[in-house]
Amino acid sequence: MSDWRMLQDRLSDQGYVAGDDLAMALYLALTLERPLLLEGAAGVGKTEIAKVLAILKEAPLIRLQCYEGLDAGHAIYEWNYQRQLLAIRAAGERGETGPGLEARIFSEDYLLERPLLQAIRQDRPPVLLIDEIDRADEEFEAYLLEILSDFTISIPELGTIHATAKPHVILTSNGTRDLSDALRRRCLFVHVDYPDRATELAILAKRHPGLEPRLAAQIVGFVQALRREDLDKTPGVAETLDFAAAVAGLGVADLTDDPVALKAALVTLLKTQGDRARVPTEVAQRLAGKAA
């Protein structure tokens, strides 16, 4: 069996069912030591893969959640100004001044590590998850480039810090804006789509092993049918799992049996008022009937 299939199996053992595209890209990213960029709708398991990978590699997971206005001070490093100031005061009272003091307050003791710096200073390769990179500004992408290509960080007062272990980098994006070509070129890319029927069944079997196969097939069929409907917010895999948990929790053995319970369980799938209105009980019943 080839190595990437083995990786796919090991992911599957951890409860993550990866499609061929994703498994291969992840395998290459690990072997070639390149960052992996995952793009896709919300709720298809982009963030999850990093968590599972961290478990597989028995490595720490370092997560950087991006947001509008994220800057180097929050992502890379920051000086601990309060401590520096206290040190200056204390030194002043002792009558100590000069370059010795300056060297001391700009030493590692006063450096606050943020996720990116932390990631390159580990003893063993960690998994670095840069989540929702499309939320960060374009300027921040430029910061990332140096780190992603060389795994070095320059701190003017300290010098350049080289990586002690090259992290496995996973970037995720919801595609709300175009990422720069420079960033895309440094990464391997996979577009993660909603899973097909068989894959989703496999996921459900992994996560809810107690579920009766017939009901599982019904649930997956129902969600897949719902995704083809015209909704504001298409349910992702996480929603399917919630829905399955809800259905199982309500003690439903067959989706078509109990319209009231089905309606109640729909809160896990439909997340806006408009979608709720668009899928009234009759439509839900019809979809469930077809899925059965």
User: Shortest distance, CB of residue 245 to other proteins, whole angstroms?
Assistant: 26
Q: Which of 7, 35, 39, 115 binds other proteins (CB under 8 A)?
A: 39
Which two tokens mark 265? 């369980």
Taking the alpha carbons at both ends of the chain, their separation in whole angstroms is 36
Which residue is listed with tokens 């896990």?
268
189 counts as binding other proteins under rule CB under 8 A: yes
Q: Which of 11, 128, 190, 201 binds other proteins (CB under 8 A)?
A: 190
Which residue is listed with tokens 């049918």?
225
9-15 long-range contacts (CB < 8 A, ≥24 apart) are 10/56, 11/49, 11/52, 11/53, 11/56, 12/202, 12/206, 14/52, 14/55, 14/56, 15/52, 15/206, 15/207
Q: Which among 46-54, 77-85, 205-213, 241-249 is the span making contact with other proteins, rule CB under 8 A?
A: 77-85
User: Shortest distance, CB of residue 233 to other proteins, whole angstroms?
Assistant: 8
Q: Which among 116-124, 151-159, 227-235, 236-244 is the span making contact with other proteins, rule CB under 8 A?
A: 227-235
Of 73 and 213, the one with the shorter C-beta distance to other proteins is 73
User: Shortest distance, CB of residue 31 to other proteins, whole angstroms?
Assistant: 5
Contact yes or no for 117/153 (Cβ under 8 A) = yes
Of 274 and 280, the one with the shorter C-beta distance to other proteins is 274
Residues 109-148 that bind other proteins (CB under 8 A): 138
DSSP three-state, residue 150: helix
Q: Rounded to whole angstroms, how far apart are CA atoms 232 and 27?
A: 34
Of 27 and 222, the one with the shorter C-beta distance to other proteins is 27
User: Shortest distance, CB of residue 185 to other proteins, whole angstroms?
Assistant: 7
Contact yes or no for 287/223 (Cβ under 8 A) = no
273 counts as binding other proteins under rule CB under 8 A: no
Question: How remote is the C-alpha of 209 from its chain's centroid?
Answer: 24
Q: Which of 175, 213, 249, 280 binds other proteins (CB under 8 A)?
A: 175
Of 2 and 108, the one with the shorter C-beta distance to other proteins is 2
Q: Which of 114, 135, 166, 191 binds other proteins (CB under 8 A)?
A: 191
Where are the alpha helices (H) located in the chain, listed in sequence order? Answer: 3-13, 20-32, 46-57, 72-75, 81-94, 99-105, 115-120, 138-150, 181-186, 197-207, 213-228, 237-249, 259-265, 273-278, 281-291
28 counts as binding other proteins under rule CB under 8 A: yes
Which residues in this chain contact other proteins in the complex, by CB under 8 A? 2-4, 20-21, 24-25, 27-29, 31-32, 34, 39, 41, 71, 81-82, 85, 89, 138, 174-178, 181, 184-185, 188-191, 230, 232-233, 274
